[in-house]
Amino acid sequence: MATRTLGGRYQLVKRIGVGGMSEVWHGHDEVLDRPVAVKVMAPHQATTVDIVRREARSAARLAHPNVAGVHDFGTSANQPYIVMELVEGRTLGQHLAGGPLDWRIGVRICAEVAAALAAAHGENVVHRDIKPGNIMLTPSGAKVLDFGIAAAIGTADDDPDGPVMGTPAYVAPERFAGHPATAATDMFAVGTLLYQCLSGRLPWLRATPTELVHAECHDDPDPLPEIDGMPGEVIDMMSRCLAKDPLERPTAMVAALLLAEAVDARVYVPMTDFEPAVAPTTSWVDEPTSASQAGRHRA
């Protein structure tokens, strides 16, 4: 980069993350004298300014304690960047590398994630990539990160014949049949996340992506190990989130409130509940069956 200060105010102090499409820097806002995180798109990416601006706008509309806030958007040398709340801690993925969590901790984390999604869905935004690596655990609670592939609820994919946006193990079955992302697709990811917190593994363990997608679309989740003291309502909520039919999944608000009650925790959710996703007009249960269909995903 030609300069280490963006927009005349954001000094890049230390690089704290590198991905295929972007770098994240620990930065300093020289105008407001506060630490920030700055996500800068990699120069070799063909990412358009409009796509990154859409990400910034999606997250900036969400004023919620369990969502990492967005402060600003800009470009430097034709590279778009987003200035965000600096969230310090470890990701849920890093914690799960050591095995399953205490069930009370796992349930509370998922209650907070569901509360964040209730706020997003209330703004007509679906995240589309809920997974352990996008959940930061902080002393004040869980924070949902990276609205990079967020979209308006029900919006068709930019490339219907291209890869399904998201991480395969957390993508809802109807998405592999080409249906748009809805609030219910985020809830399937919450169910997968809860299962993983409680067991230390995914609901389906398969050798290849094709086999994994087939299992998600057709097979029941592997049974959870018995967990002493955990209310049956938690298992029921997890099972409902993992339902093949999106209409059977709970709303984010319902999931947040029930899970929080199970561990005597408090979460902030909007006051109005939201209807579940509109039922697909065509059957997806028997799809996909081929490797080419199962391959429609983004790692």
> Is residue 173 included in any domain, yes or no?
yes
Distance CA 51, CA 58 (A): 11
Last residue of a domain, one of 49, 69, 84: 84
pLDDT of residue 289: 35
pLDDT of residue 218: 86
The CATH number of the domain holding residue 29 is 3.30.200.20
Examine residue 254 and state whether it is found in any structural domain, yes or no. Answer: yes
* Domain-terminating residue out of 84, 99, 130: 84
Indicate whether 143 belongs to any domain. yes
Same domain, 18 and 59: yes
Would you place residue 156 in the very low, low, confident or very high pLDDT band (cuts 50, 70, 90)? low
For residue 117, what pLDDT is reported? 95
Q: Is the pTM of this model over 0.85?
A: no
Q: Are both 262 and 174 inside the same structural domain?
A: yes
Classify residue 98: in a domain, yes or no: yes
Same domain for 28 and 100? no
What distance in Å separates the CA atoms of residue 143 and residue 159, rounded to the nearest whole number?
30
Are 48 and 98 in a shared domain? no
DSSP string for residues in the chain: ---SEETTTEEEEEEEEE-SSEEEEEEEETTTTEEEEEEEE-TT----HHHHHHHHHHHHT---TTB--EEEEEEETTEEEEEE----SEEHHHHHTT-PPPHHHHHHHHHHHHHHHHHHHHTTEE-S--SGGGEEEETTEEEE---TT-EETTPPPSSTTSPPSS-GGGS-HHHHTTPPP-HHHHHHHHHHHHHHHHHSS-S---SSHHHHHHHHHHSPPPPPPP-TT--HHHHHHHHHHT-SSGGGSPPHHHHHHHHHHHTT------SS--PPPPPPSS--TT---SHHHHT----
Q: Are residues 112 and 225 in the same domain?
A: yes
Mark whether 99 and 74 lie in a shared domain: no
Residue 98 shares a structural domain with residue 134: yes
Same domain, 233 and 289: yes
Q: Which of 129, 146, 157, 186 is catalytic?
A: 129
Residues 26 and 66 in one domain: yes
Residues 118, 244, single domain; the answer is: yes
Residue 299 falls inside a structural domain: no
CATH of the domain at 284: 1.10.510.10
* Per-residue pLDDT reduced to its tens digit, 34-92: 999 998 887 655 456 777 777 677 777 788 999 988 899 888 887 888 898 898 889 99
Q: Which residue among 54, 84, 114 closes a domain?
A: 84
Q: Which domain holds residue 262?
A: 90-294
Q: Is 33 one of the annotated active-site residues of the chain?
A: no
Residue 94 and residue 196 in one domain: yes
* Residues 47 and 168 placed together within one structural domain of the fold: no
Alpha-carbon distance of 170 to 187, in angstroms, equals 10
pLDDT tens across 210-265, in order?
888 888 888 889 989 899 999 999 999 999 999 999 999 999 999 999 999 999 99
What confidence score (pLDDT) does residue 160 get?
Answer: 47
Whether residue 260 lies inside any domain: the answer is yes
* Count: domains in the chain: 2
